[in-house]
Structure 1
């Protein structure tokens, strides 16, 4: 019997050149910016009440198309690793995020997701021996405060299940971020992204069918919305995200996720005419400052 073929575990070499770090960070930042378009696309183009269907259509068709194009399947331990990463980064994260979004005020859900940099800092210390700096921990707290100012409005009705789902979603994504860096990437970026999109989509598709029933007839605007979410908003965005995780500090990359609620807030103002209050403007500025500051740790705080 032939020995089972396995990929080598490829722990990527971190980028150290400042110019390379800058451009790689800028490319990685495009991912949460594209994720931030999800709210306006969902509310303006997609059928209501189909969050799990939306998650499945974002992930599975793109993942299967990539598998056909690259003709590269996991081998050995990468079958279960791809399933774990696809579940954490995509399948479970999408499902839990949608539960939180439906059961909580949007601001509460966004603020729970903003704790990811702090969760990543703790997990990176345990799994990667990447010690968190006081500088980044401080800006992590500031980032949560900034997002809260941007999105929390009016009286809050806190649903315990929604709260648990929102926090569990943040934990799932944070764990996926750290494990992605720990395990490395054994194949090309596109194939690696396709594995995870397929795994996440295969988790979501039967769940959507069981919970939401058969898909409705889709209008041209809905098809355009799903195409945007599946291609730029998921396939391209996750490819850029995984590329950044392979080369940059996971703690620094995790702060870029704060750009998602920043983009959502900006589009609400520009596209939907949702005026920003002075407090929201302050939160917007604080969130952006936290993102930039986390990429530039002063030498005196690097311990």
Structure 2
């Protein structure tokens, strides 16, 4: 049987795999040029649904904590993520975002007093390098605002992960997830309508895409994500996020008939190696027991 920790890791890894399908769903199902609307409709309806199911509202400090966590993990992250994705080639945005495990390790050392090991730093750097090989193209161009947005998205998500570990909610997991999704969606609501205007006319295909993103990509995926954060170390969880570009690249190859080069395959192997290395715990050396001398009088 699988150990409890390994089971938690495998279940939590479902989340970045699901998030890796977002690019395919966005390009094939959603209307073009509405990134903030996509971020809004994948978060607010999902949050309200979970709150309606659990019928639990925040109490005391959790009103402002839910707002902060929802802004970091959902609202600000998705807004910056989509700005970076629209202003940068996907490979550049994904490579910049891959710095998140290193940021989580640094923040965990400062806010959670967790030891920052050289192995974690080198593994995080290897992860960024692997993602770069996997998704970066030689023709990719850099846009200053796009790079800053992608970097900002990695920073707010990393801070959200660490604070989610520091602030453990006494409420049920579904309720806490709902609070954050709703709070993030409410933060996005005025921004989306100010920047992108009124709602467009939706086709059945658009509705199917938004429904998938809300129910599977948010309500289900974020519940597993926050469950993993509660039970595992933040660095263990955030390294799993490297599965997202691997999934997106694999789907592009299988579904969209995109070319997969040898360098991309090497990058994927490096990412997987970094991911596995990050989850392997060092065994602590146990000092051998000192033999006890027993005298003849003690034996009697």
Give the structure-2-normalised TM-score: 0.93
Shift of 1:137: 1.5
Question: Do the aligned residues in 2 keep the contact of 1:136 with 1:297 (CA within 8 Å)?
Answer: no
Aligned counterpart, 1:112:
96
Q: Give per-residue Cα distances to partners, 1:101-136, cap 9 Å, x unaligned.
A: 111111110011100110000000000011122222
Q: Give per-residue Cα distances to partners, 1:185-236, cap 9 Å, x unaligned.
A: 2200100000000000001121111111111111111111111111111111
Secondary structure of residue in 1 paired with 2:58: coil
Q: How does 1:236-247 map to 2 (within 5 A)?
A: 236-247=220-231
Q: Does 1:170 align with 2:149?
A: no
Aligned counterpart, 1:95:
79
Question: Do the aligned residues in 2 keep the contact of 1:139 with 1:294 (CA within 8 Å)?
Answer: yes
Question: Do the aligned residues in 2 keep the contact of 1:143 with 1:290 (CA within 8 Å)?
Answer: yes
Q: Does 1:148 align with 2:132?
A: yes
Shift of 1:154: 2.4
Q: Does 1:206 align with 2:190?
A: yes
Aligned counterpart, 1:283:
267
RMSD across aligned positions (CA): 1.4
Q: 2:107 aligns with which of 116, 123, 126?
A: 123
Question: Do the aligned residues in 2 keep the contact of 1:63 with 1:198 (CA within 8 Å)?
Answer: yes
Instruction: Flag the 1:276–1:300 CA change in 2: closer, same or farther, 3 A.
Output: farther
Q: Give per-residue Cα distances to partners, 1:72-95, cap 9 Å, x unaligned.
A: 111111000000000000000000
Instruction: Flag the 1:192–1:111 CA change in 2: closer, same or farther, 3 A.
Output: same
Aligned counterpart, 2:294:
none
Q: State how far apart, in whole Å, the 2-side matches of 1:182 and 1:30 are.
A: 23
Shift of 1:300: 7.4
Q: State how far apart, in whole Å, the 2-side matches of 1:266 and 1:164 are.
A: 27
Shift of 1:159: 1.0
Q: How does 1:1-303 map to 2 (within 5 A)?
A: 19-299=3-283
Q: State how far apart, in whole Å, the 1-side matches of 2:250 and 2:142 are.
A: 25
Runs of 4+ in 1 over 4 A off after TM superposition: none
Question: Do the aligned residues in 2 keep the contact of 1:135 with 1:297 (CA within 8 Å)?
Answer: no
Q: Across the two proteins, how many residue pairs are aligned to each other? A: 285
Secondary structure of residue in 1 paired with 2:3: helix
Q: State how far apart, in whole Å, the 2-side matches of 1:246 and 1:189 are.
A: 9
Q: State how far apart, in whole Å, the 2-side matches of 1:234 and 1:126 are.
A: 29
Q: State how far apart, in whole Å, the 2-side matches of 1:132 and 1:125 are.
A: 6
Aligned counterpart, 2:293:
none
Give the structure-1-normalised TM-score: 0.92
Unmatched 5+ stretches in structure 1: 1-17
Shift of 1:36: 0.4
Q: Give per-residue Cα distances to partners, 1:236-266, cap 9 Å, x unaligned.
A: 1100000000010111111000001010000
Question: Do the aligned residues in 2 keep the contact of 1:114 with 1:143 (CA within 8 Å)?
Answer: yes
Q: State how far apart, in whole Å, the 1-side matches of 2:216 and 2:169 are.
A: 21
Larger radius of gyration: 2
Q: State how far apart, in whole Å, the 2-side matches of 1:243 and 1:133 are.
A: 25
Q: Give per-residue Cα distances to partners, 1:246-287, cap 9 Å, x unaligned.
A: 010111111000001010000000100011111000001111
